[in-house]
């Protein structure tokens, strides 16, 4: 009995001594003292300003202009190259097309939402770089370039052209097209944001691009583009395409849903920048 009391007294004294030492130490506390609450630590706000670079309209317009010019350059390089051989023409066209897709499109970030004018099911959408290459320079040139360039073919496994074949829109040599000799973009409207706005880092554009072929015939397509900032450190333009939708300009009935329409000028259908080839072939309303 005395032994148990002595043991209990020793234990109480030992615990008390630890409590005193702990309270003096400040690093160890056995029990919370409600009379001495630790001060709350305030979170520091990060006041560092982020340098937001918005997509500028001038940069978006520059990219549209580069696209218009490169289509003509691809065609002319191919035609000139084929004076030596088809292979030389294809490689020249490939280099220009690949460079344009690398520098003016966001394919380096994975996919671009691209719906060309004349593509067909099941290859309507060219969201990958090989698909876009094929549309611009055609199956033959893609397959000629594949072994000596980047190995791109479209669709996958089509290196011999047994799955799919198409002409290249950028070449325009099919059906006696005689290539493209000039291009012009018109009627473009741009939607860009200002710093602090939600859409500041993107931009949209809607307008028309017309190309003239070697027979002095004009073909026009209506374009919708979206943009983001390009990586100029790797050679991209300041604004690059993230999507590209193209549709043929409608000018005839019954394709058009218009039933009557007064032309821009009955005596001069080309007034106002509209080529006569796209003025609707529809009777006047009055």
| Confidence label for 14 from pLDDT (cuts 50, 70 and 90) | very low
What is the widest separation between alpha-carbon atoms in the chain? Answer: 127
The bridge status of strand 239-248 relative to strand 113-115 is parallel
227/130 Cα distance (integer angstroms)? 20
94-134 confidence digits (pLDDT tens): 999 999 999 999 999 989 999 999 999 999 999 999 999 99
**pLDDT tens across 185-224, in order?**
999 999 998 887 777 899 999 999 999 999 999 999 999 9
253 pLDDT tier (thresholds 50, 70, 90):
low
Which pLDDT does position 30 carry in this prediction?
A: 32
pLDDT reported for residue 18: 42
pLDDT in tens, 145-154: 999 999 999 9
Report pLDDT for 95: 98
pTM: 0.77
**pLDDT (0 to 100) of residue 100:** 98
Give yes or no for residue 4 having a pLDDT over 50.
no
């Amino acid at each position: 009995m005395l032994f148990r009391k002595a043991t209990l007294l020793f234990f109480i004294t030992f615990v008390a001594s630890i409590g005193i030492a702990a309270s003096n130490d400040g690093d160890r506390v056995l029990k919370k003292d409600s009379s001495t609450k630790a001060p709350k630590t305030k979170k520091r706000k990060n006041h560092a300003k982020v340098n937001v670079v918005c997509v500028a309209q001038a940069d978006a317009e520059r990219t549209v202009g580069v696209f218009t010019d490169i289509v003509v350059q691809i065609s002319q390089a191919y035609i000139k190259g084929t004076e030596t051989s088809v292979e030389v023409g294809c490689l020249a066209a490939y280099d220009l097309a690949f460079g344009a897709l690398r520098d003016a499109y966001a394919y380096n970030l994975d996919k671009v939402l691209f719906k060309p004018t004349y593509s067909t099911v099941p290859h309507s959408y060219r969201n990958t770089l090989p698909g876009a290459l094929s549309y611009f320079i055609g199956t033959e040139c893609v397959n000629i370039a594949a072994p000596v360039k980047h190995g791109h073919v479209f669709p996958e496994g089509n290196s011999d052209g047994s799955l799919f074949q198409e002409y290249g829109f950028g070449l325009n040599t099919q059906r006696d097209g005689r290539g493209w000799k000039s291009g012009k973009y018109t009627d473009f409207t741009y939607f860009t944001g200002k710093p602090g706005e939600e859409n500041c880092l993107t931009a949209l554009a809607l307008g028309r691009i017309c190309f003239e072929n070697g027979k002095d015939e004009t073909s026009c397509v209506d374009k919708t583009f979206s943009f983001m900032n390009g990586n100029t450190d790797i050679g991209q333009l300041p604004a690059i395409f993230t999507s590209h939708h193209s549709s043929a300009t409608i000018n005839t009935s019954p394709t058009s849903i218009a039933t009557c329409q007064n032309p821009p000028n009955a005596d001069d259908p080309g007034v106002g920048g509209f080529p006569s080839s796209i003025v609707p072939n529809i009777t006047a309303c009055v």
